[in-house]
Amino acid sequence: MTSPPSAPLIHCLGCGALVPKIDGPGPTHAYMLVSAGCWATFGEVSAREYADPAYRAHALQLVDAYAVQHPGVPERRSAQSVWLHLVSLCLRLEYGYADDAAIRTLQRLASEHGTWGWLEPPASLGAVTVVDVHEAATPAEHVAAVRRWCESAWDAWAVHHHEIASFAKDLQRPPARS
């Protein structure tokens, strides 16, 4: 972690997880509502995934879970991010899409869809966070923690499942021919 183990903890502005307090503004994300300590934790988890293939089983879902737990504020980029990452979680968790098929579908969605409406975030964004994944000691624990995290993040948005699932179902149709 970027802060010493004895660093005070604060609640992340986005997901609410207890993360190290980083003095000063610290690097964060352009449109996600996230505390610097949470962003640093996510960076470390991501680096572990890219450095060791044994940790990479759910690398794309890791980004999906993080994004929907840090939805930001109502604006174009945030709205699109939440929609795309929720659809991605739905395609994988509800419809069993493999990463490559989900990516192709999301690329089509991002290029064909215009305006994204704001989805009001739930009061709780899920009990499992990036901190739980960060604490995993082995590749098997890491992969299991990412899976729990994705399920927790997806479940938290249950109030929008019908809307997201309906959208995802429409995406399963072949693209229109010109």
Tokens 């980083």, residue located: 22
The tens digit of pLDDT for each residue in 20-57 reads 998 877 788 889 999 999 999 999 999 999 899 888 76
Tens of pLDDT, residue by residue over 125-139, are 999 999 999 999 999
| Mean of per-residue pLDDT scores for the chain | 88
Alpha-carbon separation of residue 49 from 13, 156, 159 (angstroms): 24, 25, 31
What pLDDT sits at residue 172?
65
pTM score, two decimals? 0.89
58 against 96, higher pLDDT: 96
Residue 67, pLDDT score: 96
Between helix 161-171 and helix 99-112 the angle, nearest 10°, is 90
Question: What is the per-residue pLDDT for 8?
Answer: 93
Question: Is pLDDT above 60 for 176?
Answer: no
